Amino acid sequence: MTPLIALLVLLSSVLASQAAPVPVKLEEGEGTWRLVRAGKPYEIKGGGGSSALELLKTCGANSIRTWGVDAKTGDLLDAAHEQGLTVAVGIWLDHLNHGANYEDAALLERQRTQVREAVEKFKDHPAVLVWGLGNEMEVGEGGDTNVALWRQINSLAKLVKELDPNHPTMTVIAEVGGKKVPSIEAHCPDLDLLGINAYGGASSLMKRYRELGGTKPVVLTEFGPLGFWEVGRNGIGAADEMKSGEKAKFYGSAYQGIASDPMGLGSYAFLWGNKQEATATWFGMLLESGERTAAVDTMAELWGAPVKNRVPQIEALKWAGDASLKPGAIVKPTLSASDPEGDPLRMKWVLMDDALDYGFGGYAQQRPREYPEALIRGDLSGAEFQMPSNGGFYRLYAYVYDNAGGAAVANLSLKVDAPRRPPVAATAKLPLTVFDEPTASPIYYPSGYMGDGGSIQMREDCTDSPKVGDHCLEVRFTKGDGWGGVVWQDPPNDWGDAPGGLNLAGAKEMTFWARGAKGGEKVKFCFGLIGEDKPFHDSAKLEMELKLKTEWTRYGFLLSGQDLSRIKTPFAWSLAANGEPMTFYLDEMVIR
């Protein structure tokens, strides 16, 4: 056999193996549920996220969880399979608190198409474990008893089982409050199992689930430290974040609670990776630079692969003075840190803005401004900082690193008691994409719904003749009267009351592509929307009203000569219905 033929045979074998699904099914016996994969019992030992897969596998995990299907899903499935990991494949569904109306036939049919396409594309991949239909889409007023929503979940679960008999179906809810569990029991008979995101209440979750009448097996789909919504506020109005070592205990108790329960199928620790949400370190099990924290070591031990060199510990980070300070005040925090193996340690001190905008719905946020010039001195025993002159809230981080990829982190919240001048916005790297292909972590979010938000539907993964790439943005206004619109914002859902936005100095234009479904649709587009009556307003405001064509057309705002020092809302659309519903499409929204 020639080398070329041998290579072709090998490639053929690999491709064949990748096209063969690995059957997964649910089994129940004497009140105990379990997953069975390839004929063997399978307990989920997972991480929520797609970062550092090799490290995750080394730590003893066997699965990851995703939240949506996009252009990178195939590559992620391949990468997970290469590491011997399975994937709970999430398919994003519209959220009630984002304006979704589950009594709208067009929305329901669009979701069916979206689910069908995802399942047919990936159902035979050997890394697929379960299908996750939505994530916390019930959050919103009346969501727990929204019969139309739960019936749609059941309809989608039934569709998936028809398309793919080899993998169970799951939907994911935020905790079990209200009547969510009874609603699912009543309206979702075709749903195989239930995913539940729980933090402070994770250790008591299964007891509460049973008391509410839950009978389906459960996956704990997110767990971690106390959420910022669960800790209350300290004397200056900020949320105190636990030290990384303290968080590890919450991971451990949550995992053990579900692993020991006869209805528990396993869990996904959150977040296997790092993101700015509430603070720079609240949920990340890894630091932005890749070091693992104590939560990783705890989970590795529980997953059966304890690490040989444990992460450092911060026993105490203290500031003896008042947390409310005068401009320019000197702060001298003290630190106590150690390493289990006695490894040499190094230190990093960081002072950052803390806007007290802790976000919503799991959105990642823009990283706040750092103040390196504030550090006078710092080492492993403590530091000395001079606080900025600007009033407002700040957060002081202490990072401790060993020489084996481990780290510990703690922080303090502080306040400068003085008038708050809008901080200088972070400078954007141009060109900046506002929308092109769907992404989990955009800079600006389409979160500002205006007018009749319940009649607005936006689909970022539309494949109906996109202008650029694989997807475009489909916008529907489903009523024949009234008006509505959506604003892209930073931070999400903020109308000028919180810091954010970007300094777009040097940008020449903001361009976008648009087309109408029928042609003639009148839509107003804006660059900058927040007025000077708000403390954090847009420094420039432009608008245009267009009558859209059926073919893709490129439009743009000329930005030369504009004050671009703070743009919080770089794009918005609004329309007034004229007797019938309207649909239009957007693509490649870029600031250059």
Average pLDDT over every residue of 254-272: 96
Which three-class secondary structure string do you get for 58-126?
HCCCCEEECCCCCCCHHHHHHHHHHCCCEEEEEECCCCHHHCCCCCCHHHHHHHHHHHHHHHHHHCCCC
Which positions ≥6 away from 532 have C-beta within 8 Å? Answer: none
β-pairing verdict for 324-325 and 456-462: unpaired
pLDDT digits (tens, 9 = 90+) for 424-435: 788 999 999 999
What amino acid occupies position 415? K
Give the tens place of pLDDT for each residue, 125-147.
999 999 999 999 999 889 999 99
* 82, pLDDT greater than 70: yes
Give the chain's radius of gyration (CA, Å).
25
pLDDT band at 183 (very low <50, low <70, confident <90, very high): very high
CB 498 within 8 A of CB 357: yes
pLDDT at 440: 58
- At residue 6, the pLDDT reads 47
Q: How confident is the model at residue 19 (pLDDT cuts 50, 70, 90)?
A: low
pLDDT at 10: 45
**Looking at per-residue confidence, does 206 or 7 come out higher?**
206
CA distance 11 to 9: 5
CA dihedral 531, 534, 538, 541 (to 10 degrees): 0
Half-sphere exposure of 570 (CA within 13 A, CB side): 32
Closest by CA to 43, choosing from 27, 56, 21, 31, is: 27
For residue 546, give both structure tokens: 């267009």
As a whole number of angstroms, the distance between CA 241 and CA 293 comes to 15
**What is the predicted pLDDT for the residue at 256?**
94
Query: Do residues 345 and 434 make contact, with C-beta atoms less than 8 angstroms apart?
Result: no
Cis amide prior to 491 (ω within 30 degrees): yes
Q: Are 534 and 520 in contact (CB under 8 A)?
A: no
pLDDT exceeds 60 at position 17: no
Look at residue 16 in the predicted model and tell me its pLDDT.
Answer: 37
Distances (CA, A) of 132 to 21, 28, 268, 372, 392: 17, 21, 13, 43, 41
Q: What percent of the chain has pLDDT over 90?
A: 81
| pLDDT at 420 (0 to 100) | 77
355 band by pLDDT with thresholds 50, 70 and 90? low
Please tell me the predicted confidence (pLDDT) of residue 98.
77
Per this entry, what is the length of the chain? 592
Question: What confidence score (pLDDT) does residue 293 get?
Answer: 98
| Residue 131 burial (CB count, 10 A) | 26
For the stretch 492-526, pLDDT in tens is 888 998 888 999 999 999 999 999 999 999 999 99
At 445-501, the pLDDT tens digits run 999 999 988 889 999 889 999 999 999 999 999 999 999 999 999 988 889 988 889
Q: Which band of pLDDT confidence, cut at 50, 70 and 90, is reported for residue 438?
A: confident
Give the pairing of strands 407-416 and 392-401. antiparallel
Q: Which tokens hold the place of 404?
A: 């084996």
More confident residue, 3 or 83: 83
pLDDT of residue 366: 67
Average pLDDT of the chain, as a whole number: 92
pLDDT in tens, 279-325: 989 999 999 999 999 999 999 999 999 999 999 999 999 999 999 99
Average pLDDT over residues 398-408: 97
Q: Tell me the C-alpha distance between 193 and 44, whole Å.
A: 13
* 423 has a pLDDT exceeding 90: no
